[in-house]
Structure 1
Amino acid sequence: MKRILCLLLIILVCAAFATPAHADGAVTLKIDDTNVYDGMDKSYQDGYVPRVSNGYATLVLPLIATGDISGNVITATPNLGDASSSPFVFKNYQKTIALNDNAVGGGGTVSSYLVRFDFELKSGRVNGVYPVTTDISAQTADGESVQRSFTSYVTITDGKNPNAPDKTPAPAHQPKIIISGYTIDPDPVVAGGEFTATVTLKNTSDKKAVYNAFVTVSCDSPNFELKNESSIIPLGKIAKDGTVDIEISYKTDLETPAQRYNITLMMEYDNSDAATLSSQGTVQVEVTQPLNVQMDKPRIPESVNAGDTMSLSFQVMNMGRSKVYNARIEISAPGLLPTKTAFIGDIEAGTAAQGKMDIFVGMKSMTEGYKGEDKYGPTSGKITLIYEDEEGRPYTQEMDIFTMINEPVIGQVSAKPEEKPDKESQWWISLLIGGAAIAAITVILVSRGKRKQNEDI
């Protein structure tokens, strides 16, 4: 029993004097708080505070290792806090520091890891005290990790007063680029064709230039194919009140519906303070479908007699993709006097329509403006088809016509059989009757022709 008690006592004594594995043998890093290094006004034990001047905050952190560090280098990474409220300009400040013999105040050197950061400060920084945590990482000669963090406090006094009342600044004048004009060639654009838009861009400011300007081009139709090398067009600098011209080329396909389309120009540029500004403008392009209208040539007799009236029939076919409007037919030839224009009206795409025209055949001299001396004989002229697109622009097609106008055909005046020889002396009476009939017909033709012309007017 005594042996057991003695054994337990020995075990308790040994346990009481055992040393934890990390106590005295662990390698760590600590601040050299007794010396003053370059960039410091006083030592840490005397109340060192990071220096702030000329738009920079300088943080000095002298570290001494309690043991061997692998490669005699450590890595220091500062944590500057929340970017939205921090007075520091955020960038990569991480650095590797080697062990050196660093000069200290009063002369002499100290073997230490001298960590120094020069933090750039924001122009709009706010006064206050801001913590900066420096994370240190290293490895011992045995490959064990060494991690330490040190917090310093940077005091900002040359910034904005956080308690000052907010002042609403007056909006500063800013330059702006606008579309001051443009031309489209050709205009309108026929579906399936190409066009070029020449656009004039203007800097409306008479005080400030713009810099690094460029334009991004887009269109609201999938039927437009951009022919420029890129949809982004660089402009560079535009002087105050200055202008610059750009050219934008597109190709349309045959399926492009007839309507107006928008080409959007998004302008981006910098002002003199390097602030990025933007503006937007629109160029309108009108596209029409190619009109394809065909007319069957009417059948006109090779010869007609003065005094006759002939009726012509027309068929007009719309072979295109767009509706045509106010289709009508006119005829012009000496001696052929239409009673009126053959009005057909609107013709939908892919359909046909018919029209008729009555033509009075008179003497060629009855046509206004005719300068010939002959009244009858060959005559030629044109049939004109007229129609309009949806914008009211007129289009015409012409066909040549030819016919022969003969003298009017007058019925023969037959004399009664002579019963007595003494009536042969009255032959001249028949001649007078025939002459009177011819004169009457001529008067009727002239009168009817003038009446038809008056009706057309």
Structure 2
Amino acid sequence: MKRFIITLLAVLLLPAYANAEGFVLEENKILAGMNQSWRQGYEPTVSDGAVNIYLPLTSDKTGGKITATLELDDPDTSPFASENLSADCWKNEGLYAVRLRLPLVSARHNGDYAARVVVEGTDRDGNPMRSEYPTVVRIRDGRSDLIRPGISAVSADLNVGEDGAIRALVTNTSRYAEMKDIILTVTDAAGDVLPAGSDKLAVPALMPGESAWIEYPATVKPDAAVALHTLAFRLSYTALDQPGEWEETFTLPVSQEIRLEQGGVQAPPSVIQGDAAAFALPLMNLGRGELRNVVASLSLPGVVERQSVLVGAIAPGETKQAKISVTPGKDILGELSGEISVAAEDAWGNETGFSLPVALTVEAAPEAKKEAETAADLVKEMVPGYVWPLAGACLTLLIALIVQGALLRGKIRRMEEEKL
């Protein structure tokens, strides 16, 4: 395609370019042996086993000999019998009637050989002059080789109920023949993928080995199946003046916008130090395609960092719960804030996800004194009421006995002292 554009621009700009270089191509002039002028689209002709090329040139800067040489864009494919593709020419009645007659090999290949005629000379001061004239040598009396296009690097953006595009690289795999009048059509066997507008896309002409990127506008029906679709790519073209067709099939996915929704975080507002807190998040698949590898992760700085749970696959219209439990340590106290993040992908690996804020208050555990008081109250509740007065009477009797014993021991000691 690039070569074609350069050739076209060169032809359109020939007069200005030639004047700058000292040669002027007389585009309306028809020399003997030419079937039409250069302006009318003159191309070299083949007769009697040779290529004939004519250029009517003028110049006001030189009157001496000039040399014309045919140079092929791809010399490796040359159909010529000799490497010398040059001829000299002299001015006659103010005109250089350049003619190249170049013999061809007998085992030549039919094809379109991009080339240029290079004209060189010197001006009256001895300075070099040079001009180039792009052309194509078309051979049709040789042997034909396999001619077919190639389609590769196929990709697409196809979503249910939306307009999209199919992209591909179209290549002329022939070594010799140009392809032109190329038309591409794409059809879906299921009828879900349709052309957006015309069903025919024109592809630029391709010289041998050239490629062109194409983008085929398409639209997907609202009720299309979310699945792989088999698309047929059909190319019609002209090569070596004969019509041709080529078809290839490719499998492309039709997707739908991923619609993963959440039902709000369910969690306790507070938790006691050392106790577990459970978080739950309903996850809903509101799309038409299955969601896979759904993972929920909880982050609470100081407590846990990305504690994850695998929810798994969620079918269209299904709801699943993501449940995560954490236990704040006994050294954690106060208000905590963090987030729950969710990640998922569809059947083609397209990813989606979101994050939600979460908060949790960690309250202090009961003190030891309160625990002791609670234990004492529990003991009181378990012991009958009449036991406490009886225990008091026993204690009083014990004290009285102790006092009486002490008095008796004192009296005995005094009596022993009097006897002495």
- What TM-score, normalized to structure 1? 0.45
Larger Rg computed on CA atoms: 1
**TM score, norm. by length of structure 2:** 0.49
